[in-house]
Structure 1
Amino acid sequence: MSERTFDQVSWFRNSSPYINAHRGRTFVVMLAGELLAGPALPTLIHDLALLNTLGIKLVLVHGARPQISERLAAAGIESTFEQHSRITDAAALDSVMAAVGALRLKLEGLFSMGLANSPMHNASIQLISGNFVIAKPVGVRNGFDYQHTGEVRRIEVDPIRRQLEAGNVVLLSPLGCSPTGELFNLNAEEVASSAAIALRADKLIIMGPQVRINDSDGQQLRELSPQQAGRMLADDQLQAPGLERQLTAACHAASNGVARAHLLDTGDDGALLRELFTRDGCGTMVTRENYETLRGARIEDVGGILELIEPLEADGTLVRRSRELLENEIQRFVIIERDGMVIACAALYPFPDDKVGELACVAVHSGYRKGERGAQLLGYVERRAREQGLQKLFVLTTLTAHWFQQQGFEAAGVETLPGARQSLYNWQRNSKVFVKPL
């Protein structure tokens, strides 16, 4: 088997839990207008078609800002913006309708592709659009009459759900109609977040060029809480065009019942599939949930712990533990779980008569050793030990003495161990003893 084939097989196997988890879920995916004008769009449509085939219910929202600007410029109409919203008069509305209509037809054409040897051969996907977005006028604010610029009044949830249950993909445009029959130009990000909240979607995914959230050092932020996102918006830390609107939409959705909102840079080929079907993804996620959880271990974690510690047992870092032993001692363990995978563990064995505890089986997955997770585990175990009235922790180690010294442990002799532990000391292994007062 070639290395490329092995990688493909391995990736497909590892994606299985996510395929099962996403089936039947509702995702709202927003495609920025800049993306619709770029060369990456056909490939992205193939990826969206794949999601539909895998049983994911898709609602697409498309932007149209650059296309509207082009049509207005061609018509000699100057665009005026207030608070990131275009003021739309009657003449401008014609250009808005033309741009949005052209994009709808373009997307319908792309979803109809079915050439032999293409990713969408025999896909037969129906893209459904309609008057699903009910709008209201912005009105006059701060002295500006927004005219035909509107806001989302409500999303027609039941008709959309009927289409999704039928296996169709629903398309929402940044145009909404009012109960009086008027049309209004809408903010696509607002349409996307409003739809995700109204539909109680499992995910809101916002995609476009340069949709990337970095820290002050230029490193990509992989996870944000709505509160952290709000502080970034308040501090005006975002430089890329449109990123403020996109992060605002993600923050709004995550604060109102959408479990996870994702921001994906489409300059990264395959970003959508990597974000949804790999553990670490490639974008920025805004979520109220904690993506990593530090908690006491449960019996169903035994398999994950065994998989984590097996390489460390093989190289002699840890003493071997059987599944039966782990099952009997599982209440001693704490773990860090990342999206269903055990990535770190430790155990506390108390000796209450001596008021000391043994820190044992400290392990962190090789792919996650740069995030201070070992120190987090130690802090959690120390709190547990104090709650049990213990005054000291000790650890036996052969290869990681320096790390424990950095955490405040000091070298000690075997004679300092509790009597029950001294009798079990393995002189052939010749582990070093370190002690830390609590």
Structure 2
Amino acid sequence: METRFPFVDWFRNAAPYINAHRGRTFVILVEGEAMASERGEQLIQDLALLHTLGVRLTLVFGIRPQVQAALEEASVTPRRVNGRWVADGAVMRQVERVAAQQRLWLEARLSLGLPSTPLHGVELSVVSGNLVTAKPLGVREGIDFDHSGEVRRVRAGAVEGLLDQGSLVLLPPLGFSSTGEVFDLDAADVARHAAVALKADKLILLGESDGLTDEHGALLRQLAPIDAAPRLNAATPGSELARHLQAACAAAREGVARTHLLSWRNHDALLGELFTRDGVGTMITQHRYEQLRPATLGDVAGLLELLEPLEQRGMLVARSRERLEHEIDDYLVIERDGMVIGCGALQLFDHADVAELACVAVHTDYRGGARGERLVEALEQRARTRGVGALFVLTTHTVHWFAEHGFRPSSLDELPPLKRDAYNHARKSKVLFKTLG
């Protein structure tokens, strides 16, 4: 009996993403809670794997829980305003000490190379330094924030040079001023500025939450910044959700193609998001990850791949590559991250007030998301703009579905003569019509 390894199938499916990510620039934020847990070790292994696969990595690390523990141990109670502590001298001593310790710990873990460790054989140069310049928050609402600061700029040229040399760049939540001062920064804000300055392909924020959910608790796979704004406005100031959403929305508006909100608690989150088509978290992007658009000749291969299983099951009439190329202007497609997952065609007839709604299909993995409805609505709208008064479909398997969307059973006599003469009586397709308002 043949032995099957699920990993092999996953690896084959991941191959396009391995190729797509090679040479790309990712900025990844790992919050301090992740490093304070047992999850830190595996995250480092995942980062090393990304580096091995050719991803240019800039890692920003948070230190909030570690600093909080150090402050409690030193009996220091910081003043908090809108979720941020006022970094006076006593607080900054702990911030600087913890940041240095955390940086050294990360460098040490990324240097493991013993045969018994996952990083065996991986030569990884980790570089940090004065790569972020900062300015003080100053006095706000009558409160002097002392050494609490905000990012002035990320030295993109210096970081790019290090990435070009094959180094992993490490950025602590600290910034340096031209006067030689050190400022406490928000790690999410550092990550956002780094991603924008580097024109990063991805900004990845690893926090407590799996992502954003709708009112029913279902994970939202994709949001535009404008759709995420109400959630940001409702979030508690200074909370992780507020900081991550602020960074994600700002990054998207400033040119970062995709920002991913993931949970460090999920051991598969980072690799699952990057090497599977649907991912496991929420993506904030100005660009549509899934779009309905007119088909082009470049979609023919994807259409063949989508339609072939349905043709083999007798649900659709077989269409050759040549036929699809000839009729490509009739088609609309739904594309998801480069894959054609749905299609439909509007086929007109000379001297007829009716048109055929043909080849409406959605990939089996993506049904149940109203994609069929979107295709039919778009094709109906296309028909109206072209002066078509009614649509008809020929179907063997989806009579009820079309009936639910306003189509009524009809007869061959209502078909245009050209279509009636070409009707395949062996298939016994049902004829349904819909009058367009």
TM-score by length of 1: 0.97
Structure 1: give runs of 5+ residues left out of the alignment. none
The number of aligned residues is 435
Distance 1:392 1:294, change over 3 A: same
Matches within 5 A, 1:301-340: 301-340=299-338
Match of 1:377 among 375, 378, 400: 375
Q: Answer whether contact 1:211 1:243 (CA < 8 A) is retained.
A: no
Alignment correspondent of 1:66: 65
Question: Secondary structure of 1:319's partner?
Answer: coil
CA distance in 2, matches of 1:230, 1:255: 12
Structure 2: give runs of 5+ residues left out of the alignment. none
Which string of whole-angstrom CA distances, capped at 9 and with x for unpartnered residues, describes residues 152-192 of structure 1?
01111111000000000000001111000001111111101
Alignment correspondent of 2:221: 222
Question: Secondary structure of 1:335's partner?
Answer: strand
Q: CA deviation at 1:322?
A: 1.6
Alignment correspondent of 2:113: 114
Q: CA deviation at 1:232?
A: 1.0
Alignment correspondent of 1:186: 185
CA distance in 1, matches of 2:270, 2:238: 20
CA distance in 1, matches of 2:214, 2:379: 31
CA distance in 1, matches of 2:3, 2:36: 37
Alignment correspondent of 1:2: 3
Distance 1:83 1:352, change over 3 A: farther
Name whichever of 56-65 and 118-127 sits farther off.
Answer: 118-127
Q: Which amino acid aligns with 1:53?
A: T
Supply the RMSD in Å over aligned alpha carbons: 1.4
Q: Which amino acid aligns with 2:117?
A: S
Question: Secondary structure of 1:154's partner?
Answer: strand
Name whichever of 315-324 and 105-114 sits farther off.
Answer: 315-324
CA distance in 2, matches of 1:260, 1:84: 27
Among the aligned pairs, what percent are the same residue?
Answer: 49
Q: CA deviation at 1:291?
A: 0.7
Which string of whole-angstrom CA distances, capped at 9 and with x for unpartnered residues, describes residues 59-112 of structure 1?
000000011111111111002221222101011110001111110011001100
Q: Which amino acid aligns with 2:50?
A: L
Alignment correspondent of 2:366: 368
Question: Secondary structure of 1:436's partner?
Answer: strand
Alignment correspondent of 1:199: 198
Question: Secondary structure of 1:212's partner?
Answer: coil
CA distance in 2, matches of 1:116, 1:202: 33
CA distance in 1, matches of 2:142, 2:216: 40
Question: Secondary structure of 2:161's partner?
Answer: helix
CA distance in 2, matches of 1:327, 1:215: 40
Alignment correspondent of 2:276: 278
Q: Answer whether contact 1:69 1:79 (CA < 8 A) is retained.
A: no
Q: CA deviation at 1:240?
A: 11
Alignment correspondent of 2:133: 134
Q: Answer whether contact 1:352 1:390 (CA < 8 A) is retained.
A: no
CA distance in 2, matches of 1:302, 1:98: 59
Question: Secondary structure of 2:105's partner?
Answer: helix
CA distance in 1, matches of 2:13, 2:234: 39
Alignment correspondent of 1:55: 54
Which string of whole-angstrom CA distances, capped at 9 and with x for unpartnered residues, describes residues 212-249 of structure 1?
3222222221111101111111233x799512111111
Matches within 5 A, 1:13-162: 13-162=12-161
Runs of 4+ in structure 1 deviating by more than 6 angstroms, as ranges, are none
Alignment correspondent of 1:399: 397
CA distance in 1, matches of 2:123, 2:285: 34
Q: Answer whether contact 2:342 2:371 (CA < 8 A) is retained.
A: yes
Question: Secondary structure of 1:349's partner?
Answer: strand
CA distance in 1, matches of 2:77, 2:116: 46
TM-score by length of 2: 0.97
Distance 1:231 1:14, change over 3 A: same
Name whichever of 113-122 and 124-133 sits farther off.
Answer: 113-122
Question: Secondary structure of 1:164's partner?
Answer: helix
Q: CA deviation at 1:433?
A: 0.6
Q: Answer whether contact 2:83 2:237 (CA < 8 A) is retained.
A: no
CA distance in 2, matches of 1:141, 1:158: 32
Q: Answer whether contact 1:294 1:337 (CA < 8 A) is retained.
A: yes
Which string of whole-angstrom CA distances, capped at 9 and with x for unpartnered residues, describes residues 197-222 of structure 1?
11111110001233532222222211
Name whichever of 299-308 and 97-106 sits farther off.
Answer: 299-308
Question: Secondary structure of 1:359's partner?
Answer: strand
Matches within 5 A, 1:257-268: 257-268=255-266
Which string of whole-angstrom CA distances, capped at 9 and with x for unpartnered residues, describes residues 44-65 of structure 1?
1111111111111100000000
CA distance in 2, matches of 1:270, 1:110: 20
Q: CA deviation at 1:23?
A: 1.2
Q: Answer whether contact 2:83 2:239 (CA < 8 A) is retained.
A: no
Alignment correspondent of 2:298: 300
Distance 1:240 1:80, change over 3 A: closer
Q: Which amino acid aligns with 1:397?
A: T
